[in-house]
Structure 1
C-alpha cells in the first residue's frame, strides 16, 4: 500500500487558506479582548462582590468549565435563532468563544487577585490612595502581571479552539480546509498544511503576547521576563 503526496493541487487555494488564517486571527483577537474584560469583571465580582453576585459568577464559571465548547457554541448559535435574532455564524462564534474564555479568565485573574498580600493594601491606605487607585495600581494590575503567562497560554488555546466554530459554518481556517479537501480530494495534504498553519499561528500569537507584555509591564521589560 502506497500513497503519493501531491501538494501541487493545493497551490491555487493559497488565497483561500490566507482568508481562513485572517478570520481565525480576527475571531481570536475579538474573543480575547472581550473575554478578558468579561473574565476580569467576573473575577473582581467573585473576589470582592456581594454574596448573590459571587454565587451567580460561580454558577457561570462552573457551568462553562464543565460543559464542552462545542455544546456551548451550539447553544449560542441556535439560541440566537430561537429568540428570533438573526446573527451571522461569525458573530455567534465570537459570542460563544467570549462566554467560554471569560470563565477561564475569571479563575486565572481571581488567582492573581488572591495573591496580593494584605500588607500592600495597608501600605496603599498609608499613602492616601483612593479605593479606585488602590484597586487598579495595587490589586488589579499587579495581579494581572502575575498571571500573565497563564493568560497567554489560555488565549493561545482559544485561538486553536476556534477551529470548532467550523461546525456552525464560521469561515475560519478549519472550515476553509474542509471545503478545500472536498474540492481537491487531497484530504491528507490539506490537513497537513492546515496543521502547519496552526503551528505558525501559535508561534505568532505567542510572540505577539511577549511583545505586548514588554510594553505594558515595564518591570518585566527590565527583568526580561515578558512571559
Structure 2
C-alpha cells in the first residue's frame, strides 16, 4: 500500500483550524480544571464534614462515569431542562469538570504533603487561616504538583478528541471530514496519530521544564 500524503495538502488550512480549536478548548479547560481542582481540594481538606462529603461525591461521580456520557448529558440532556449551551462551551465545561476531579486529587496530595511546621510558623506570625492557605499552602501545593498536573493536562488533550461527537470540528472532527471527502482514511489518521503524539510529547517536555524552573531551589538543595 502506497502512502500518499499529497492529497492532504488542500486541507492543511482546514486541519489547522481544527488544531487551533483543540488548543483553545484545551487551554480553557486547563484553567477550568485547575480552578475546579483547587476548590474541590480545599473542600476535601476542610474541617467541614458537609464540604468534604460534597467534594468526595463530586470526585467519585466524575471519575467513575465515562467522559462521553458526561459530554452527552451536558449537550443532549440539559436542553430537556431548557438549558442550551453551544458545542464549544459544552466541550470546555465538560473537560473542566472531568479534569477538575482528577486535578483535585493531585492538589490535595500536594496540600497534605506540606510540612506542618510551615503552617505553624505562619500561624505564629499572626496570619489568618485563610491568608495562610491562599498565600502559602496553595501556592506550594501547586508548585510541587506541576508534574502530575501535567499528566492531567495531557489527558485533557487526548480526551478532547471525543468532542467531535457533539459536532465540534476540532482536530479529530476535521480529520473525520477530510477522510470522508478524500476517501483516504489511512493517510488522514496516520497524520492525526503523529500530530497527537507530537503534541502530547511537546507538552510533557514543557511541563518538565516548568517543574524544574519552579522547583529549582528544592532540586539544587537535594543535589547539594
Q: Shift in Å at residue 128 of structure 1?
A: 2.5
Q: Distance in 2 between matches of 1:16 and 1:221?
A: 45
SS at match of 2:145: helix
Q: Which residue of the partner structure matches residue 42 of structure 2?
A: 44
Q: Shift in Å at residue 206 of structure 1?
A: 3.0
Q: Distance in 2 between matches of 1:151 and 1:125?
A: 29
Q: Distance in 1 between matches of 2:195 and 2:59?
A: 31
Q: Distance in 1 between matches of 2:88 and 2:191?
A: 23
1:92-131 paired onto structure 2 within 5 Å: 92-131=90-129
Q: Which residue of the partner structure matches residue 58 of structure 1?
A: 56
Q: Which residue of the partner structure matches residue 148 of structure 1?
A: 146
For 1:43-70, what per-residue CA distance to the aligned partner results, in whole angstroms no more than 9, with x for missing partners?
A: 0011014111111111110011111111
Q: Which residue of the partner structure matches residue 158 of structure 1?
A: 156
Q: Distance in 1 between matches of 2:108 and 2:218?
A: 24
Q: Which residue of the partner structure matches residue 197 of structure 1?
A: 195
My pick for the range that moved more, 118-127 or 144-153, is 118-127
- Uncovered stretches (5+) of structure 2, i.e. residues with no partner: none
Report if the CA contact (8 A) 1:214-1:220 is conserved.
no
95 and 154 in structure 1: CA distance in 2 versus 1, 3 angstrom threshold: same
Q: Shift in Å at residue 78 of structure 1?
A: 1.2
**Match for residue 7 of structure 2 among 5, 9, 17:** 9
Report if the CA contact (8 A) 1:213-1:220 is conserved.
no
Q: Which residue of the partner structure matches residue 84 of structure 1?
A: 82
- Uncovered stretches (5+) of structure 1, i.e. residues with no partner: none
Report if the CA contact (8 A) 1:73-1:93 is conserved.
yes
Q: Aligned residues, how many?
A: 222
Q: Distance in 2 between matches of 1:218 and 1:101?
A: 24
Q: Shift in Å at residue 98 of structure 1?
A: 0.9
**Structure 2 length-normalised TM:** 0.91
SS at match of 2:84: coil
For 1:144-164, what per-residue CA distance to the aligned partner results, in whole angstroms no more than 9, with x for missing partners?
A: 112110001111111111001
Q: Which residue of the partner structure matches residue 138 of structure 1?
A: 136
Q: Distance in 1 between matches of 2:76 and 2:158?
A: 23
**Structure 1 length-normalised TM:** 0.90
